[in-house]
Structure 1
Amino acid sequence: MLKNIQMIMNVFLVMLNTAFTSFVVSILAIIKFVLPFLGVKVAMSKLANKQMWLWATINLWLLNVNNKIDWQIEGGENLSKDQWYLLISNHLSWADIVILSSVMKDKMPMGKFLLKHSLLYVPFVGLACWGLDMPFMRRHSHEYLVRHPERRNDDFDAINKACEKFRRVPTTMISFAEGTRASQEKMATAKTPYQHLLKPKTGGVAFTLNAMNELLNGVVDVTLAYPENRENPFDDLLKGRMTKVVVNIKLHEIDENLSGDYFNDKTFKRGFHRWLNGVWQDKDDFLKGVYSSTSDESQ
């Protein structure tokens, strides 16, 4: 009963924090729309990012107040808030967005996520995300694209348009390369060579990388784990049951593995596949160590 009450209170506070942030950023978005001058757009984008930082800061405070978390964060010392990054991460739970924002907020520019286009119509939240220059993805079905082949590049165009805006203000673009959460159910049926991960989808990562290539100072590779809360990390987070969060951060420099035309250069495409699959294999090996050590401790 007590845990349910705590969960209700936590949900209310998180929603209140999110609603306030959405309201403020929406106002900034309206100003940017009404006064479409470059100086105004840059100023409003910077203010929106600061509001997003405040949202993440309050969330981190709520996490620590309501949970006794053993934070195990490794890496990220050489990152800067004045540079541009592409962040790739494994995806386990809705908790990932809160954790990533909270952990990375003082290390690098506030992150932008690839969002479903339907979120654009959610009151305040959609307008706020638009104000934060987050790209909205339509993710057309194969059947739709067969009927409308001219819409095949909609998602790529959305990313490219967003990346043009990112030139104005230091930005981190976040990609959950697996495309979906690696839940226990999905892992049981997925054809994946990894023990703890789904296969990464290279196309979206490659296009974002290509669109931001001139700006990028590096690719930030984050591995997340909730070793003692693997079943329901988001629920446990809200109920005050989260006990350990593992965040491993690596920085990959932009080199020949990351600079090329993925869609027209077959040699580069094969090399990029090898590189990303190698990154995912390293993640999987890291997670094996995390989960095995947790299992040993519980015995």
Structure 2
Amino acid sequence: MSWLRIAFGTLLLATNTVLHVPPLLLVAVVKAILPLRPIRRACDWLLMAIAASWIGINTTLIRWFTSTRLVIDIDARLQPDGHYLVLSNHQTWVDIPMLQAALNRRVPLLRFFLKSQLFWVPLLGLAWWALDFPFMKRYSRQQLEKRPELAGRDIEATRRACAKFMHIPVSVMNFVEGTRFTPAKHQQQASPFTYLLKPKAGGIAFVLDAMGRALHSILDVTIVYPDGRPTMIDLFANRVREVRVKIRERPIPAELLGGDYQNDPVFRERVQGWLNDLWREKDGLIAELRTA
């Protein structure tokens, strides 16, 4: 019967997407062709309301179709109209619906930096565009060797995206490890952490540089699956017993603002050192949550 549960649940999620994306696109087009400030503000409010409804219904469907227990521990004073940098570990695609379930309507819409190829995902790509998700084009080492001027384009794309976020409530989401955790990647990296890959500081530094003091704080999110890393199929087959999410609010250290991450090695080392300390603390927290 699990295949029937998976098929029906997927169908309902797809139907929810089909119902929500056209209104998103309509509002986004109005916002684009009528760039008057009152209209743009009204459109931004409508876009966030539609997105919150979409996520809320997805969360309800997951609760209906599974007995997964989501345990959320929040040590933060969350504001739905705030400006946050959200940092999290990353193990599986299940992380995204769990993050959305934990934070929807508590903070502004989570916005991820996406690979440019994802723009072409049917319906979802257009929805992400309508919601101002930043699309980043990644270049291979060979491409950069042939055309060194491409090296700074992802930084400029980050700055353009953050310039938009300065004027609307936002939660800028960053999976700091840059990829999902697997034992093979952990071994290949020779990661010094037990449950985490090595964190990458560049994305955080660029967001802090672009948005500066417009950000209220950092939301440090830790996701733990006590029974092991699940897939989305595991979730809909009702094989995920429990998910634990710990959310802690942290002030943005003043020493991480106003530096030049690209060209100042002292500042770069400072940011990387702060992030490594955070990751060591998170590694210990994961050990505690796995056995709680």
Q: TM-score range by the shorter chain?
A: over 0.9
Matched, 1:256 2:254: yes
Matched residue SS, 2:160: helix
C-alpha displacement at 1:105, in angstroms?
Answer: 1.0
Q: Which amino acid aligns with 2:230?
A: N
Q: 1:134 to 1:65 in 2, by over 3 A?
A: same
Q: What is the TM-score of this pair, normalised by structure 2?
A: 0.94
3-state DSSP class of the match of 2:246?
A: strand
1:232 alignment counterpart: 230
- Secondary structure, counterpart of 1:247 in structure 2: strand
Query: Considering only aligned residues, what root-mean-square deviation do their CA atoms show, in Å?
Result: 1.6
Deviation sequence 1:27-72 (CA, Å, 0-9, x none): 2222122223333222222211111111111121112112222222
**Structure 1 stretches of 4+ moved >3 Å:** none
Deviations 1:176-199 (A, max 9, x none): 011110023322433211111111
1:86 maps to 85
Alpha carbons of structure 1 residues 76 and 15: separation in structure 2 relative to 1, 3 Å: farther
Q: Which piece of structure 1 moves more, 267-276 or 81-90?
A: 267-276
The structural deviation recorded for 1:231 is 3.9
Q: Secondary structure at the match of 2:127?
A: helix
Residue 24 of structure 1 corresponds to: 23
Aligned to 1:197: 196
Aligned to 1:75: 74
**Alignment-mate amino acid for residue 16 of structure 2:** N
2: CA distance between counterparts of 1:124 and 1:233?
Answer: 22
**Amino acid of the structure 2 residue aligned with 1:57:** G
Alpha-carbon distance, 1:205 to partner = 1.4
Q: Which AA in structure 1 matches 2:253?
A: D
Cα deviation for residue 76 of structure 1 reads 4.1
Structure 1, 63-72 or 236-245: larger mean CA deviation: 63-72
1:297 is matched with which residue? Answer: none
Q: Which secondary structure state, in structure 1, belongs to the residue aligned with residue 179 of structure 2?
A: coil
Hey, what's the Cα distance between the residues in 1 that align with 2:85 and 2:153? 21
Tell me the CA shift for residue 103 of structure 1: 0.6
1:142-161 matched pairs, under 5 angstroms: 142-161=141-160
Gaps of 5+ in 1: 295-299
Give ranges in structure 2 of 5+ residues lacking alignment: none
Matching of residues 131-280 of structure 1 within 5 Å = 131-228=130-227, 230-261=228-259, 262-280=261-279
Question: How does the TM-score come out when normalised to structure 1?
Answer: 0.92
Q: Which AA in structure 2 matches 1:155? A: D
Provide the C-alpha distance between the structure 2 equivalents of 1:98 and 1:20, rounded to a whole number of angstroms.
18
* Corresponding letter in the other structure for 2:235: L
